[in-house]
Structure 1
Amino acid sequence: MGIPSETMWTMTGDSKSAMQAKLTTMLRHLDELEKRLPAAVEAYLGDRDRQLAVERLCQLVVECAIDANALLLSALGEPPPQSAREGFEGVERNGVLDPSLSHLFRFTLVSFRHRLVHDYERLDNRIVHRTARRLLEAGRQYVAAVSAFLSRQV
């Protein structure tokens, strides 16, 4: 993959710094999520304070990726994405994310974030636990992919 040949790379030092700061923040949230999310679902189900912390951290991780997508697409000279899903489509189209990771964010993790933000009373904590475990891996893959892309840019 890589930037399509017709795409002009216009990321300034400030833009790259903003991207790196966003990725650093995302990693901090992922580290905190990993500390708070027990491997066993039973431990998670029995601790409401832990559930609230995990829900918020999941929201923040996905939002960091959404923000990073907008920064990256802007630097690539593309219009701002009109939705979170469109942002992931854009970074995939530009060779930053592989299709499977982009698909996971677009169709699972963005929806998960929306449910966390808008439907607290309808959450199934077993699903939250399972999805948070997936987010830990996907979030780190996202940071690695974007970091690798940035390192290839002049």
Structure 2
Amino acid sequence: MDPSIEVFCNRGTSGIDGSTTTAIGAAVASMKENILITGDISFFYDSNALWNAYIPKNFKIILINNQGGGIFRILPGHQETEVFNTFFETTHNFTAEQLASMYHFKYYQATDLEALEMVLPEVLQENSQPVLFEIHTPTTVNDSVLLEYFKNLT
């Protein structure tokens, strides 16, 4: 990684920890370009963070929306049940498009790799207003991709 890039991480209780609020605070304090990479449940939980007048124009959110807390699918004992889907994974069909509009963020989305590769350069170049880039990923594939990623780290 380029040594000029600073990385800060925020991990609280299952991601429901004010990550968006923290990232906006860091962006305001640093005045450098800041990019928050977050999941859908954490983002939607803390979406009131967008309701302020101090968000820098070069602040960007990359939102990985897999329609729920898919991270819980990698835990031992996961079973596809109504209780799991409702109370652990928190399955939903929300998008962030209306939030982006309401809070004056430029909105982009991608639903496949081709769209991701096409839109990402534009997202990274945009500095006239805050950006929300929502990447939709398939719920039932995320856990196997994540486990394979962890496997390849070792």
> What TM-score results when the alignment is normalised by the length of structure 1?
0.30
Q: Whose strand fraction is larger, Structure 1's or Structure 2's?
A: 2
Q: Which protein, 1 or 2, shows the higher relative CO under an 8 Å CA cutoff with sep ≥ 6?
A: 1
* The structure with more helix, counted as a fraction of residues: 1
